[in-house]
Amino acid sequence: MLPSGAPPDWSSVDIATPRPSDRLPGISMAGFRQRVPASVNIAMVAHPSVTLLLDLSEGEGLVYDTRGRHARGSAVIGLLPGEVRAGGLVGECLQIRLGPVAAAAVLGGASMELSGTMVSLDDVWGADAARTEDRLRAAATWDERFTIASDILTRRLAARPRVDPEVAHTWRRTLTSRGRLRVEGLADETGWSRKRLSARFGAQLGITPKRAARLVRFDHAAHLLAAGHPAAVVAAASGYVDQSHLHRDVREFTGLTPAGVASAPWLAIDDVAWPARSSR
């Protein structure tokens, strides 16, 4: 997520992260509490995870607008969300990032259908959404909330069939290589043809291997830009052909320039909220 419009005052936001015992492979969580609930306007952009936003505020909370649809409450943001804006008076929110492989298990077929959009959590989890929100809202501490969320996610992971091992391997290698491996090489590693790998990867994760690599590479570059590195240095370090290649990807994924990404307030706290991004 990258803020636009009226971003939150991050100095008034408390950030909580789970204990090691509550962490799950391919899943990361962070809790946010605005000490004085304030109106925010956040533009959701491409990120190599499916995101659950669990609104734990009392009364007016998260509202969002995507493709002319207005809704309120907890939401699920798919890969490559495009033009999605969220805002409203937000007091407390639990954000859960699901790597595509974990999302396929936690959300089932919905994770593939969500690519490029944002929907209400009710539409994906049904009555379980309200029950989950009630349990999390009633918890006295963030540690309790993380434990509850971890238990719920663990049950969902166990109840769903896993993706093909070849697909999971391809995603893992894409992530650890920061998107710098070619699809042909990944196909060779799995013993599949490129055509079969692309078809199965797309059917199970909702994105092609090539697009996934671009998304992971962009995410790495965005964090280097936010850390203050010059665009030319970031382009070389992230595997782009040149600075203009980086500029095109940044523009496509965010609608911003590299300088705009570098100054995005959200990325400034990303390493606090997600200290182990490489575990996605």
Q: What is the CATH number of the domain that holds 63?
A: 2.60.120
Q: Are 151 and 178 members of one domain?
A: no
Which pTM value belongs to this model?
0.86
Task: Report d(CA 199, CA 263) in Å as an integer.
Answer: 37
259 or 85: which carries more pLDDT confidence? 259
Q: Tell me, what's the pLDDT at 167?
A: 96
Q: Tell me, what's the pLDDT at 78?
A: 82
Query: Model confidence at 23, in pLDDT bands (50, 70, 90)?
Result: confident
Long-range contact pairs involving 35-40 (C-beta distance under 8 Å, separation at least 24): 36/12, 37/89, 37/90, 37/91, 38/8, 38/9, 38/12, 38/89, 38/90, 39/6, 39/87, 39/88, 39/89, 40/3, 40/6, 40/7, 40/8, 40/86, 40/87, 40/88, 40/90
Instruction: Check whether 47 has a pLDDT greater than 50.
Output: yes
Q: Tell me, what's the pLDDT at 61?
A: 66
Instruction: Answer yes or no: are the C-beta atoms of 61 and 34 closer than 8 Å.
Output: no
Q: Tell me, what's the pLDDT at 119?
A: 82
Q: Are 153 and 198 members of one domain?
A: no
Domain residues for the domain of 119 are: 2-159
Q: Are 155 and 258 members of one domain?
A: no
Q: Are 191 and 231 members of one domain?
A: yes
Q: Tell me, what's the pLDDT at 213?
A: 96
Q: Are 58 and 131 members of one domain?
A: yes
Q: Are 97 and 134 members of one domain?
A: yes
- Mark which of 108, 134, 159 sits at the end of a domain: 159
Q: Are 141 and 184 members of one domain?
A: no
- Mark which of 126, 159, 192 sits at the end of a domain: 159
Return the percentage of the chain with pLDDT > 70, whole number: 77
pLDDT in tens, 225-266: 988 999 999 999 999 999 999 999 999 888 889 998 888 766
What's the mean pLDDT in 69-86? 69
Q: Are 112 and 10 members of one domain?
A: yes
Q: Are 172 and 126 members of one domain?
A: no
Q: Tell me, what's the pLDDT at 270?
A: 75
Task: Report d(CA 224, CA 226) in Å as an integer.
Answer: 5
Q: Are 126 and 178 members of one domain?
A: no
Tell me the CATH number at 182. 1.10.10.60
Q: Tell me, what's the pLDDT at 77?
A: 83
Q: Is the dihedral of CA 21, 33, 123, 129 positive or negative?
A: positive
Q: Tell me, what's the pLDDT at 37?
A: 54
Q: Are 244 and 153 members of one domain?
A: no
Q: Tell me, what's the pLDDT at 250?
A: 92
Q: Tell me, what's the pLDDT at 1?
A: 39
Which of 163, 159, 87 is closest to 118 using CA atoms?
87
Instruction: Check whether 41 has a pLDDT greater than 60.
Output: no
pLDDT in tens, 174-190: 999 999 999 999 999 99
- Mark which of 135, 159, 183 sits at the end of a domain: 159
Instruction: Check whether 40 has a pLDDT greater than 70.
Output: no
Instruction: Check whether 72 has a pLDDT greater than 90.
Output: no
Coil, strand, or helix at residue 61? coil
83 or 182: which carries more pLDDT confidence? 182
Instruction: Check whether 32 has a pLDDT greater than 80.
Output: yes
Q: Are 67 and 144 members of one domain?
A: yes
> For the chain, where are the alpha helices, taking DSSP H only?
100-107, 110-113, 121-125, 127-138, 142-159, 165-176, 183-190, 194-205, 209-226, 231-238, 243-254, 258-262, 265-268, 270-273
Number of domains in the chain: 2
Which of 257, 254, 217, 258 is closest to 238 using CA atoms?
217
